[in-house]
Structure 1
Amino acid sequence: MNLPLASIALCGLLFMAWSGPLRAENADRDKPIHLESDRVLVDDALQTSVFEGKVELTQGTLRIQAEKIVLTQDKLGNKHCTATGKLASFRQKHEGTDEFMEGYGERIEYDTRAETVDFFGQARVKREQDDVQGDHIAYSTHTEVFRVSGDAGDGNDPGKGRVHAVIQPKSREQTALPAQKDTPLTIQTSPTLSKPKP
């Protein structure tokens, strides 16, 4: 395995470990999608809508902001959203916590059927103070797996094409085991045990 691939794989594993408790808010799937923009073009025949100008898409706790969002729907009602802009943004609350995952990219693809979010170009995902950056970040809300890759780079910039991750240590209070009580054990005879034979 060559060194750049090993680095990408290691960062991917670290990020997957970091993302263990992440799970998109389950109730979001059943909520309607709301969109606001400066203008919209709707093509009912193709089941496509193009929203432009300060677009904001919300579905429960999920929020995507971009300059342009193209929303398509298949015959089964599954939706696919492509958000573009200088940097489009994504934010969603995680199930059972008050934590939010935030992501950015020149393009964001959100697919309700596949339950995936992909960030392309200057891709970045943050949770609290943890942060990962690359050229492409793929996140499955179903399997809770992140896949991060850098771009090919041009060979002139040694840092280009690599994945960058910052994973903050957990505080000792979060990882400490419950304190043991300092009470001594007492030994008692059991009434159910038979007496030893002489």
Structure 2
Amino acid sequence: MRTGMVAVLFCLVMSAGVFAAGDSAIRRNDQPINIKSNELLTDSTTGTATFSGKVVARQGDLTIYSDRLVVYYAEKDKEVDRVEAFGNVRIVQENRRGEAEHAVYERRGAKITLDGGRPRVFQGEDTVTGEVITYFVDEQRSVVVGGKDGRVEATIKPKGKGQNAGAKP
């Protein structure tokens, strides 16, 4: 479970491409995972572990908050196959944050999907919002879909260079 959860926690934080991987992510794999919840239910017949009630999962500088977190294990190799976070999902790492009502990490396809409640990803003052935000981990690309009645919205603020181009010293 430890190796699979490390991948899950790391992958969830990569949502929408604005969360960056780096040396700290590699070191994170060696760090312990601390999960707190009001209840833990494991079921070997279905191959699941369900954490519920004010779930807080921490590993290094990465924290995931949700009402419920379900870990699904593959029958064949007993590795983590999929992880779903439900209700008030918030993923925080330094100045980066992802929010949705539902998030899924799928090992097959190395894909993270944020949906429900108009998902948003923030990095500093930059934001992206859509109906569904999907990040393909191996390809380091993301897709944000606006949905039937909505559009994708991104706000990207200048990073200093040229901000005061007309200002005099």
Same-fold status (TM-score > 0.5): yes
Runs (4+) off by over 6 Å: none
Q: Report the residue type matching 1:23 in the other structure.
A: A
Deviations 1:113-161 (A, max 9, x none): 64433210210001111000011111234333221011212xxxxxxx1
Q: Which residue of 2 aligns with 1:82?
A: 84
Unaligned runs of 5+ in 1: 1-14, 93-98, 154-160, 175-198
Matched, 1:107 2:126: no
Residue 109 (structure 1) shift = 1.1
Distance in 2 of aligned mates of 1:101 and 1:142: 20
1:13-162 map, 5 Å: 19=18, 22-23=20-21, 25-74=25-74, 75-85=77-87, 87-92=88-93, 99-112=94-107, 114-121=109-116, 122-153=118-149, 161-162=150-151
Q: State the identity %.
A: 29
Matched, 1:166 2:155: yes
CA RMSD in angstroms comes to 2.6
Are residues 55 and 144 of structure 1, via their aligned partners in 2, closer, same or farther at CA, if it must alter by over 3 Å? same
Paired residues of 1:78 and 1:113 also in contact (CA < 8 A): no
* Structure (1 or 2) with the larger CA radius of gyration: 1
- The total of aligned residue pairs comes to 143
* SS of the residue 1:151 aligns to: coil
TM-score (norm 2): 0.72
Q: Report the residue type matching 1:60 in the other structure.
A: G
Distance in 2 of aligned mates of 1:120 and 1:110: 12
Paired residues of 1:34 and 1:57 also in contact (CA < 8 A): yes
Unaligned runs of 5+ in 2: 1-15, 164-169
Distance in 1 of aligned mates of 2:136 and 2:30: 17
Residue 40 (structure 1) shift = 1.5
Q: Which has the higher contact order (CA 8 A, sep 6+)?
A: 2
Are residues 173 and 162 of structure 1, via their aligned partners in 2, closer, same or farther at CA, if it must alter by over 3 Å? closer
